[in-house]
Amino acid sequence: MTDKNNSEERKEKNNHPEPPEKGNVIDTYEYKAKNIPIKVTVVKRKGEFVPLYEISISSISKTTEFMLERIRQELVKAVNLEMIDITDLKKAKLIESQFEETISDLINKYFPDLDDETKGFLTSYLLTKSLGLGMIEFLMNDHKLEEVVVNEATEPMWVYHKEHGWLKTNVFVRDEEQTRHYAAIIGRKVGRQISVLEPLLDAHLEEGDRVNATLMPISTGGNTLTFRKFARDPWTITKFIQTKTISPEAAAVIWMAIQYEMSAIIAGGTASGKTSALNCFADFFPPNQRIVSIEDTREVRLPKYLHWVPMNTRLPNAEGKGEISMEDLLVNSLRMRPDRILVGEVRRKKESETLFEAIHTGHSVYATFHANNADQTIDRLTNPPIDVPKILLPAISLIIVQFRNRRTGIRRTFQIAEIQEDSTINVLMQYDQQKDKLVKKNPSKSLFQNLKLYTGMSDSQIKHDLDEKERVLNYMVKHNITDVDEVGRIIAEYYTNKHNLMKFVHANKRFHE
């Protein structure tokens, strides 16, 4: 078979992936992408070293696909789709609406006998192929995928599946030019350019998904695209407890510390779940306080009941101008009257200085930090290049360490430690690998003493408060209250009308307003 024939075959696969052949089927499921029903089969084939992720749009036959391509060609003649600049969101919606009307008319012309539902999804299909990112958008709609990757046009796209890891797909981009075109579309939407002079692009889509693009010859195999999907269904404290990542008892201690405005650092190694933990513990914020989050990549998603201002850093443009760093946003956030500040990750000396300045000016701060345990967190903070003076450390009340077992891949809260007045750490709870749970290690020497000092609570009141919080957490687990807004609603009720919430908890009935 000639290279030309191979190229044509790939084009056809890109436009309309073949239904999967027989093999050792591992998983099958269906989902809808913009009203288009899509079937997924994960299958192990002889000679392939990884399972294959194969999608098929069974509702569209090859004959229908051929007709749809003719309609698309009519549109191309009418307007140069590649030249449309969609940086203005309102303008983009208008263009999309006009195209939808035109496509709808053409579908009525070519397929007069179809029912409205079928016409609707054919319109969506053509719209995605004409103005969007084609098959990539269909893959991005699969809620079980975390990453969608184009390595080069000569090989199929890859995806990272939540249950099956890296998988090879049956979807191709047409050629290297199409990958470059997709990168250009994404760049225009965020006011960035990608070219031979600027061959790297890091951007965010409207929904929060992150995109990285590289052009040849920087990536020697071909032009690349890497889409990291923003979690549509973020981690909550209930999910953390259900998956045994943390115990209700430990979560209650963290909740109490957060309620009474004690700052915390969430440490952990690579892929240990630091940001997921930050997202979970942010569920405990009271609804009557202003929260500012600062991140490089938008990953935190808080309940709608909270007074929240999310902020993102920005890379410099081609001239090296326009950069907004984490430090810039931290300094700016202090002028926004926040009660709580969330920082995606502290990496540099200036960021840590601003972080401690924020704490010492009366703000509660919660940040993630790269370190494998509480001792290492102190060492990294107090030594070059970060070099925080030890005398400042007691401003952080808690260090919460997240851990990923590199053999099994499970994630757990590894340590909960307090920082004492002499800047040393006292580990309150530690993960026991054999028992697969957090166990008490040492009695508190500063956390509860500070609580008593600043709240006037007695030991018995603190114990009652912790027991009450633990009951609420167990109640949410029992009733499977896992959605971020549902969890946020329960926590908001706890702060604003605790007596009412506890009636439902004691009666073990699902909460309703």
Helix (H, G, I), strand (E, B) or coil at 177: helix
Do 265 and 298 have their domain in common?
Answer: yes
Whether 179 shows a pLDDT value over 90: the answer reads yes
Picking from 228, 248, 271, the residue at the C-terminal end of a domain is 228
Q: Lowest mean pLDDT: which of 64-73, 240-249, 388-397, 489-498?
A: 64-73
Any idea what the CATH number is for the domain that residue 181 is in?
Answer: 3.30.450.380
Which of the pair, 83 or 297, is modelled with greater confidence?
Answer: 297
pLDDT in tens, 282-320: 999 999 999 999 988 778 889 999 999 999 888 777 677
Instruction: State the average pLDDT over residues 230-235.
Output: 80
Residues 6+ apart with CB under 8 A from 172: 10, 11, 13, 14, 153, 155, 156, 157
Query: Is residue 465, in this structure, part of any structural domain at all?
Result: no
Query: Is residue 23, in this structure, part of any structural domain at all?
Result: yes
What is the average pLDDT score of the chain? 86
Question: SS3 sequence, 89-138?
Answer: HHHHHHHHHHHHHHHHHHHHHHCCCCCHHHHHHHHHHHHHHHHCCCHHHH
Whether 487 shows a pLDDT value over 70: the answer reads yes
Instruction: State the average pLDDT over residues 413-441.
Output: 95
Any idea what the CATH number is for the domain that residue 418 is in?
Answer: 3.40.50.300
At 509, list the tokens: 């009935």
Do 290 and 428 have their domain in common?
Answer: yes
At 180, list the tokens: 């470059």
Query: Is residue 360, in this structure, part of any structural domain at all?
Result: yes
Do 188 and 253 have their domain in common?
Answer: no
Whether 80 shows a pLDDT value over 80: the answer reads no
Helices (H), 211-361: 237-242, 248-259, 274-281, 326-333, 349-360
Whether 62 shows a pLDDT value over 70: the answer reads no
How many structural domains does the chain have?
A: 2
| % of the chain surpassing 70 pLDDT | 84
Query: Is residue 502, in this structure, part of any structural domain at all?
Result: no
Q: Lowest mean pLDDT: which of 56-65, 86-95, 344-353?
A: 86-95
Q: Which domain holds residue 288?
A: 237-456
At residue 255, the pLDDT reads 98
Residue 186 to residue 246: CA distance in whole angstroms:
39
Whether 139 shows a pLDDT value over 90: the answer reads yes
Do 75 and 137 have their domain in common?
Answer: yes
Residue 170 to residue 10: CA distance in whole angstroms:
10
At residue 1, the pLDDT reads 43
Residue 437 to residue 146: CA distance in whole angstroms:
28
Give me the sign of the Cα torsion angle 370, 375, 378, 382.
negative
Could you tell me how many helices (H) and strands (E) the chain has, helices first?
A: 16, 18
Q: How many residues does the chain have?
A: 513
At residue 267, the pLDDT reads 97
pLDDT in tens, 6-28: 444 444 444 455 554 567 999 99
At residue 9, the pLDDT reads 44
Do 188 and 289 have their domain in common?
Answer: no
Do 298 and 215 have their domain in common?
Answer: no
Question: SS3 sequence, 334-400?
Answer: CCCCCCEEEECCCCCHHHHHHHHHHHHCCCEEEEEEECCCHHHHHHHHHCCCCCCCHHHHHHEEEEE
At 331, list the tokens: 């300094």
Query: Which residues does residue 364 pair with via DSSP β-bridges, in sequence order?
Result: 340
Q: Classify burial at 30, counting beta carbons within 10 Å of its beta carbon; exposed 0-12, middle 13-18, buried 19 or more.
A: exposed
pLDDT in tens, 352-410: 988 888 888 889 999 999 999 999 999 999 999 999 999 999 999 999 999 988 888 79
Residue 274 to residue 253: CA distance in whole angstroms:
18
